[in-house]
Amino acid sequence: MNKSNTWIMKRIIKHIKKYTFFVILSFACAFISVIATLYAPILTGDAINLIIAPGKVDFDGIREIIIKFIIVIAITAISQWVMSIINNRITYMVVKDIRIEAFNHLSDLPLAYIDSHSHGDIVSRIVTDIDQFADGLLMGFSQLFTGIVTILGTLGFMLYINVSIAIVVVVLTPISLFVAAFIAKRTYNLFRGQSESRGELTSLVDEMIGEQKIVRAFGYEDEALERFEVINEKLEKDSMNATFYSSLVNPSTRFVNGLVYAAVGIIGALSAIRGHLSIGRLTSFLSYANQYTKPFNEISNVITELQNAIACAGRVFELIDEDSEIPDESDAVVLEKADGALVIDDVSFSYTEDKRLIEHLNLLVRPGMRVAIVGPTGCGKSTLINLLMRFYDVNNGSISVDGNDIRHITRESLRDSYGMVLQETWLKTGTIRDNITYGKPDATDEEVIEAAKKAHSHSFIKRLPQGYDTIITEDGGNLSQGQKQLLCITRVMLLMPPMLILDEATSSIDTRTEIRIQKAFNRMMEGRTSFVVAHRLSTIKEADIILVMRDGNIIEKGSHSELLAMKGFYSELYNAQFAH
């Protein structure tokens, strides 16, 4: 086992240690089961020795042995049943703990990690890889304990019956383990490759399902199928190689075990002929030799299966070990109710070092100001929003709210101070009410309806089959894009936070509804610091200040009339939109 595998095994054992009591109980059941199983060949040998010759059979003695046999079988069955229940409990409690740890860590990961990694691969790690790990761990518990106790037990009984033959068995049998270990070392990378290919396939399928309308609209079906076939073929190759090499273990170990059984039979027969061993004891010994070699074969299979489990666990632990967001300072400020005074002081930021985006940005925002941000695609508008919400931290400079650097404010209280409506809608599976109350679960029906009326979503909600109790899926079901966006706006209307961020918030709404929504927004923005990102310049005429961004810099700022009078870049954008 290489260093990486050792590290993974230590992590697994650490999780298992929490359930030491159940592990001991499982081992006890395995011990009872094996001892009862190993006692059976003794009874068989004794029964054979009672059959002396034709007409010379001790039926009373055999009857007693049969009764003992039934008791032994009952004890074996019960102990194996209890052990199976305990092993399942240990496995799925450990798996539950790891899955909870992985899922909880998702919320601690910086957005930079989420943005730079395939979402399908992350899902595959938390769901599929953990399931694969569970299968390997369960097999390990089911066969490892029993196998170890069986080996020790049979060895003891064989030494009791005949030391010389037992030594032959002990010397030959471990060869199968060496063969299994040799093959297993070479299968780990194959199983890891299989797991990674599975993650790529999950990512592609997730992408195709989530963007099916786009795929069909642009006729991307053939290209998607080609990508699928390439990844699927790679998965098939990785799976076939891993399965082929791992399947060599069973026949290899069985071949060695067959040699051991033959050696015991020949040596035992010679001993019986010389009178050193009774036929009954020889029968018992052959049974023990078979039972002794069987666990080696099972453990070999377990080792192979564990390689897959370890490879999958490694991918999950890699996710868990990814650096979390920089934690809030111990003395970080908690914003109770922000006034909305905001200062951006000489801020520079880039997602990658080789491509600068925002450089030396300065801005002073007084409480209650409406700040509009406009500019061409890629100029840094949405990036500025990410910085305000502290989804990303600035590289240089600082952003302050109410006189406090946001890096010294708790993330939760900072984000609670903002209400955000994005161009890209997001709804969860549940009722309309569940989606509206996402940020305020204890909201009353009256508050929900009032918010819906302000956002002009109440009328279409009432027309739904079950109104506010209508179940929708995460993609919004049969709701239009505009209706989904109205629900997102309603969600913010319910919270009424001290600061607002509206990133193309009405982009999917018809013009008539947009006019009404703008009136609602105007009421909502009264007394609240608001940041409005917009492409339709007609929606931001009432802004106190308009920031015109280009290549990460504010190149113009002022009111709508002031910017038009400058006859600069904003004037060009405005006239381009309203030119006939």
DSSP codes of every residue in 201-226: HHHHHHHHHHTHHHHHHTT-HHHHHH
Report how far residue 89's alpha carbon sits from residue 144's, in angstroms, rounded to the nearest whole number.
16
Per mean pLDDT, which of 31-35, 156-160, 203-207, 446-450 is the most reliable?
Answer: 446-450
At 580 the pLDDT is 44
Tell me what the mean pLDDT of segment 386-407 comes to: 89
pLDDT of residue 489: 84
pLDDT at 3 over 50: no
Res. 55: pLDDT tops 70: no
Q: Using CA atoms, how far apart are residues 548 and 573, in angstroms rounded to an integer?
A: 10
C-alpha 506: how far from its chain's center? 34
Higher pLDDT, 36 or 252: 36
Domains parsed from the chain with CATH numbers: 3-192+246-320 (1.20.1560.10), 327-417+498-580 (3.40.50.300), 419-496 (3.40.50.300)
pLDDT (average), residues 281-297: 72
Q: How far apart are CA 158 and CA 355, in angstroms?
A: 73
Tokens for 335, please give them.
Answer: 């914003």
Which 8-state DSSP code applies to residue 129? I
Mean pLDDT across 335-342: 84
Report the alpha-carbon angle 155-160-166, nearest 5.
50
CA dihedral 496, 502, 504, 509 (to 10 degrees): 10
State the pLDDT confidence band at 556, using cuts at 50, 70 and 90. confident
CA distance 265 to 274: 14
pLDDT computed for residue 476 by the predictor:
66
Sign, CA torsion 261/267/269/275: negative
C-alpha distance from residue 508 to each of 258, 427, 481, 489, 530 (Å): 73, 15, 6, 12, 20
Task: Find the range with the poorest average confidence among 222-231, 446-455, 475-484.
Answer: 475-484
Burial of 316 from C-beta contacts in 10 A (0-12 / 13-18 / 19+): buried
Rounded Cα–Cα distance for residues 315 and 335 (Å): 38
Higher pLDDT, 179 or 12: 12
**How confident is the model at residue 82, as a pLDDT?**
92
Residue 524 tokens, joined? 């909502």
Higher pLDDT, residue 206 or 496: 496
Residues 419 and 521 sit within 8 Å (Cβ to Cβ): no
pLDDT at site 398? 92
Burial of 418 (0-12, 13-18, 19+ CB in 10 A): buried
Q: Which helix (H) or strand (E) holds 10?
A: helix 3-16
In this predicted structure, what is the pLDDT of residue 4? Answer: 64
pLDDT one-digit tens code per residue, 138-179: 777 777 777 777 778 777 877 777 777 778 777 777 676 677
For 174, other C-beta atoms within 10 Å of its C-beta total 11
Residues 6+ apart with CB under 8 A from 336: 413
By C-alpha distance, which of 289, 274, 338, 315 is closest to 528? 338
Integer Cα distance of 455 and 484 in angstroms: 12
Which range has the top average pLDDT, 293-297, 476-480, 525-529?
525-529
Amino acid at 336: E
434 by DSSP, 3-state: which?
Answer: helix
CA distances from 135 to 94, 140, 184, 492, 532 (A): 12, 9, 17, 44, 51
pLDDT tens figures, 108-131:
888 778 777 777 788 888 888 888
Question: Which range scores top for mean pLDDT: 5-19, 55-69, 156-170, 254-268?
Answer: 5-19
Phi, psi of 49 (to 5 degrees): -65, -20
| Rounded Cα–Cα distance for residues 241 and 574 (Å) | 62
- CA-angle at 107, arms to 104 and 111, nearest 5°: 145
3-state secondary structure 131-145: HHHHHHHHHHHHHHH
Q: Which of 167-181, 445-459, 550-564 has the lowest mean pLDDT?
A: 167-181
Q: What value does the mean pLDDT take over residues 241-259?
A: 75
Digit-coded pLDDT (tens) for 459-481: 888 988 888 998 887 666 678 77
Q: Single out the residue of 453, 381, 451 nearest to residue 419, CA to CA.
A: 451
- Confidence at residue 212, expressed as pLDDT on a 0 to 100 scale: 67
R_g of the chain computed on alpha carbons: 35
Mean pLDDT of the chain: 80
* E strand residue ranges, 427-528: 430-431, 471-472, 499-503
Give pLDDT, residue 525.
79
Q: What count of other Cβ atoms lies within 10 Å of the Cβ of residue 91?
A: 22
| Residue 1's pLDDT band (cuts 50, 70, 90) | very low
pLDDT at residue 449, rounded to an integer: 92
pLDDT tier for residue 54 given thresholds of 50, 70 and 90: low
